[in-house]
Structure 1
Amino acid sequence: MGTVKSVLADDVQQVTGSALQGALVDLIDLSLTGKQAHWNVTGRTFKQVHEHLDELIAETRESSDSVAERAVMIGLNPDGRVETVARSTSLPALEPGYLPEDKVIAAITQQLAAVIGRMRVRIAETEPDPVTQDLLIGITAGLEKQHWMFSVQQ
């Protein structure tokens, strides 16, 4: 099997690849955190929060696939293996067991804010590759919408 040759200059490819890999880890971990919360949320607004978490999970999974495919397009191999995500993530883990809705909403809001902050840095870093930058801008817009929708529930 051959390898994909990037159309980007080597230095741009490396910076862009690093940004994509970081985004991939954040998105995978955010989707896993969302799923953990989805299974364990409790409270009066359980159904609403449970279904909203489903939306977040679907969005982050789709976005992680787009990020990974973009990495391959520029000639790099994405690494979404569990050990890589566990080693590389900077998102705090949720507490084990059942979680009251207010704790879930607060935790997801905080995690979204952290990921959005890192995505904005990646957007700036990928200026030399406007295609990747555009992808990251679109993903960040979706995350910001999710952040807004979770934060108003607090």
Structure 2
Amino acid sequence: MAAIKSPLGDAALKATGDALQGALVDLIDLSLVAKQAHWNLTGRNFKVVHEHLDEIVALARAGQDDVAERAVAIGVNPDGRVRTVADRSTVPQPEAGYLADDKVVAAITDTLAQIIGRFRERVAATDEPDPVTQDLLIGITRELEKQHWMFQAQT
């Protein structure tokens, strides 16, 4: 099997690969958490929050594809397997059962804030080793921050 030759040196590849893998895990789990909340949502603001959760899912899914494809482009194998995500994710998980809309809004707001913090660390970590990956992470961070603002405004 042929391997993709990386345009990056070993140290840069390691730093960038770690940043991309962490971003992939965060985005996969964010999409799953948001979908779980979407399916089990109840409350007065059901429709607005229900539809807004789908925006989070779409953002996370698009971002995970971009992140995984960037990893492969620089010679790193992305790992989005369920076991990997379950073992490495630090995204807070929703409770089982029906979820009140106000609690979902608060939880998603907090979850986005945590993920944004980690993305900002990854942006800083890729400044020197790979500005191209940094640019990708900046774009995703911008969209996560926009969604954070919109969810925070509902609290």
- Same fold per superposition (TM over 0.5): yes
Give distance in 2, aligned partners of 1:27 and 1:132.
Answer: 16
Superposed counterparts of 1:106-117, under 5 Å: 106-117=106-117
Structure 2 counterpart of 1:49: 49
Structure 2 counterpart of 1:72: 72
1:3 is paired with a residue whose SS is coil
Structure 1 counterpart of 2:60: 60
Q: Which amino acid aligns with 2:118?
A: R
Give the CA deviation at 1:31. Answer: 0.4
Give the CA deviation at 1:50. Answer: 0.4
Give the CA deviation at 1:61. Answer: 0.2
The runs of at least 4 consecutive aligned structure 1 residues that moved more than 2 Å come to none
Q: CA RMSD in A?
A: 0.5
Gapped regions of structure 1 (runs ≥ 5): none
Give distance in 2, aligned partners of 1:94 and 1:100.
Answer: 11
Q: Which amino acid aligns with 1:134?
A: D
Give distance in 1, aligned partners of 2:84 and 2:70.
Answer: 18
Give the CA deviation at 1:28. Answer: 0.4
Gapped regions of structure 2 (runs ≥ 5): none
Give distance in 1, aligned partners of 2:136 and 2:117.
Answer: 16
Superposed counterparts of 1:10-25, under 5 Å: 10-25=10-25
Q: Which amino acid aligns with 1:52?
A: H
1:93-127 Cα deviation digits (max 9, x unpaired): 10100000001001100000000000000000001
Give the CA deviation at 1:92. Answer: 1.5
Give distance in 2, aligned partners of 1:105 and 1:44.
Answer: 12
Give distance in 2, aligned partners of 1:112 and 1:92.
Answer: 10
Q: Which amino acid aligns with 1:150?
A: F
2:65 is paired with a residue whose SS is helix
Give the CA deviation at 1:65. Answer: 0.3
2:97 is paired with a residue whose SS is coil
Give distance in 2, aligned partners of 1:38 and 1:116.
Answer: 21
Give distance in 2, aligned partners of 1:80 and 1:110.
Answer: 23
Q: Normalization by structure 1: what TM-score?
A: 0.99
Structure 2 counterpart of 1:102: 102
Give the CA deviation at 1:91. Answer: 1.2
Structure 1 counterpart of 2:136: 135
Q: Which amino acid aligns with 2:103?
A: K
Give distance in 2, aligned partners of 1:37 and 1:114.
Answer: 17
2:136 is paired with a residue whose SS is helix
